[in-house]
Chains A and B, each alone.
Chain A
Amino acid sequence: MKKEVLYELKALYRDNMRINCRKFGSGEKAAVIVAGVRGNEVQQIYTCGMLVKRLQELEKHGKVTKGQSILVVPAINPYSVNIEKRFWPTDNTDINRMFPGYNLGETTQRIAAGLFEEITGYRYGIHLASNYIPGQFVPHIRVMDTGWDYIEEALDFGLPYVVKRKPHPYDTTTLNYNWQIWETMSFSLFTNQTDTIDTEGAEEAVNAILYFLSNKGIINYSGEPGCVSSLVTEGELLPIKSRAAGIFRPLAETGEQVAQGAVIAEILHPYDCSVKAKIHSPVNGTVFFRQQKSLAYANAVLFRIIPQK
């Protein structure tokens, strides 16, 4: 394993911001795994750290395929992490809305450009990501549908679901989208936490990445797939909203099978905790997403359910 600094930014008073990486193997740029583009992505950073630990072991035992190189970047944005701010400390911009970046532009454009130069040219790109709406997800891989059809490749992670997403206008400046434009097959990996560490979820994600790398001949890993992935499109993820606002009391977990008509949450009146509304599942299905907040805003998406086929 080699340690390198991919990008460094000097501040006025703070210590320099360094984007560190760990490199395994040598030769063809096979896979790059990144995390921590936003300052609250603690679970993703931890997962990447655990991945590095496992790759070190595998490399020590000669299990990284000859002629294949792997790059791991556990924390793209340490400046925001260290002050517990989600976006860039000064202007609140989101580095994941700055790709492919511009090396003569504003600070986060430069960071994106400097980083992107180092993480392009790989066959596979894996971003341990979080959604802009904080919440818990069933572990899954998300692939942006830009017309380059490689979605079957995502089944090789062995996670419960692979979600195909049509890019929205705001997606065109994300890392996932731009990797594809620069001919890296990109995957966003979502687990069920962001701000806090869930060790089981992290282990599941690490195993999925190792299983994928092994399937692609980049490492020799004898792990088993977590499961047979189901392929769904984003349109199939049924949004469940509340018309009432108040305190959110969820009654269903992510991954849980729910029956049509089952009460999956209650919205409580904040002053006396009486039930203002009951949220029913409109279908038989699996809870794919649940919002993190303990408060429910009217019309907010509280759950997404994958209907049973």
Chain B
Amino acid sequence: MIETVLSIGLPIDERLEIKKNRIVPLTPLTGEEKRISIVTGTHGDELEGQFICYELGRRINKDIIHLKGIVDIYPALNPMGIDSITRGIPAFDLDMNRIFPGSEDGSMMEHIAAKLVADLDGSAACVDIHASNIFLTEIPQIRISEETAERLVPLAREMNVDLIWVHGAATVLKSTLANSLNTIGVPTLVVETGVGMRITREYGERVTDGIFRLMKKLGLWDGETAECKEPMISDRPEDVSFLNAPVSGIFLPRVKHCARVKQGDVVGEIVDPLRAEVLNVLKAPCDGLVFTIREYPVVDEGSLIARILGGVAE
């Protein structure tokens, strides 16, 4: 059943509507059912979640007999952004994932944020799907703050991702949807997978498999689920090395995403096309797995080039 979570008038003959697909079991509802919420599309240029929402809905509908709880799928928290290829909220130049938990009395977008949090409140779990941005490609991973790790890591293990990355509390952004939901007691997993403006079907299928496993763990699904691989878990800051551009230029990668590198291997070069010069040769600071790689060639000094998970070299 398609439900309108909120509807707000725009100046000329249009409404901003955020919708969800509520899928319920065939048996009559008792009111005691658990609910899982799948949200994506906070950033209008992150599209990996579009396939996951479609695929999840398709598979549940096909085997709905196995559904034992409520599934709410929100494919577009920022519908104007998705439909206009805009990362933030069009017309407001705001990053939607920096205004939570919002406020009923606040601006229009803060009001929307507050309504969304209220609608998601009460879920047994929430999966918030992101796709990095147009600059970086990511392996399927879940990012968790240190303070919620004890509660969330057991759930994240079900999600069929390659990596569970536990962050230090100081680096957690307080104004995200996930942080706001975790704060009010809705266990929320942030999935980062793939790259902005594209859909990586293989990753999408894996994450969808993971959501079914999570639903089974929570008692919302009693059908078959796919086997999942044991994720790598990184919970020490020193596990992950960051490689940032020391100079501005054009980045030419020398390794592929997910490559296993040795310390000192060339990850790529930053070149100056005007002078036909190599400005910098970027080398791996440690042995490990390149789980994030720069996709967009133009780099400023400081632009992230790669993240390497240490200790995973062959």
Contacts and interface: CB of A to CB of B under 8 A. Distances in A.
A301 B108 contact: yes
Given A104-B244, A106-B244, A106-B304, A245 B9 contact: yes
A299 B108 contact: yes
Interface stretch (B20-28, B92-100, B139-147, B159-167): B92-100
Interface stretch (B48-56, B218-226, B295-303): B295-303
A110 B93 CA distance: 22
A13 B274 contact: yes
A11 B248 contact: yes
B165 to A, nearest CB: 17
Contact of A297 (B10, B133, B242, B274): B10
B232 interface: no
B314 interface: no
A298 B11 CA distance: 8
A9 B111 contact: no
Contact of B135 (A91, A246, A297): A91
Contacts, number: 96
Interface string A84-128: 001100111010010000001111111000000000000000000
Contacts of A296: 11
Contacts of A169: 100-101, 173-175, 179-180
Contact of A239 (B10, B95, B105): B105
Contacts of B87: 92
B86 to A, nearest CB: 10
Given A10-B247, A301-B106, A110 B11 contact: no
Given A270-B13, A298-B8, A105 B302 contact: yes
A300 interface: yes
Contacts of B63: none
Interface string B49-92: 00000000000000000000000000000000000000110011
- The prevalent SS among residues of A at the interface is loop
Contacts of B194: none
Nearest to B242: A104
A170 B97 CA distance: 10
Nearest to A244: B9
Interface size band for B: 35 or more
A270 B11 contact: yes
Given A170-B174, A270-B12, A298-B9, A106 B133 contact: no
A87 B87 CA distance: 13
B11 A295 contact: yes
A12 B10 contact: no
B244 A12 contact: no
Interface in B91-140: 91-95, 98-101, 105-108, 111, 133, 135
B250 interface: yes
A297 B94 contact: no
Given A169-B174, A169-B175, A170-B174, A107 B274 contact: no
Interface in A260-309: 270-271, 295-301
Given A10-B301, A297-B108, 19 more contacts: A9-B248, A12-B250, A13-B274, A92-B87, A97-B98, A106-B302, A107-B300, A108-B302, A169-B173, A169-B175, A170-B174, A243-B9, A245-B8, A246-B11, A246-B12, A247-B11, A270-B11, A271-B13, A298-B8
Cβ-closest 10 pairs across A and B: A169-B174, A245-B9, A298-B9, A107-B302, A295-B11, A170-B175, A169-B175, A300-B108, A107-B300, A110-B302
15 contacts: A12-B298, A106-B302, A106-B304, A108-B302, A168-B175, A169-B174, A172-B174, A245-B9, A247-B11, A270-B12, A270-B13, A297-B9, A297-B11, A297-B91, A297-B108
Interface of B: 8-13, 87-88, 91-95, 98-101, 105-108, 111, 133, 135, 173-175, 179-180, 242, 244, 247-250, 272, 274, 298-304
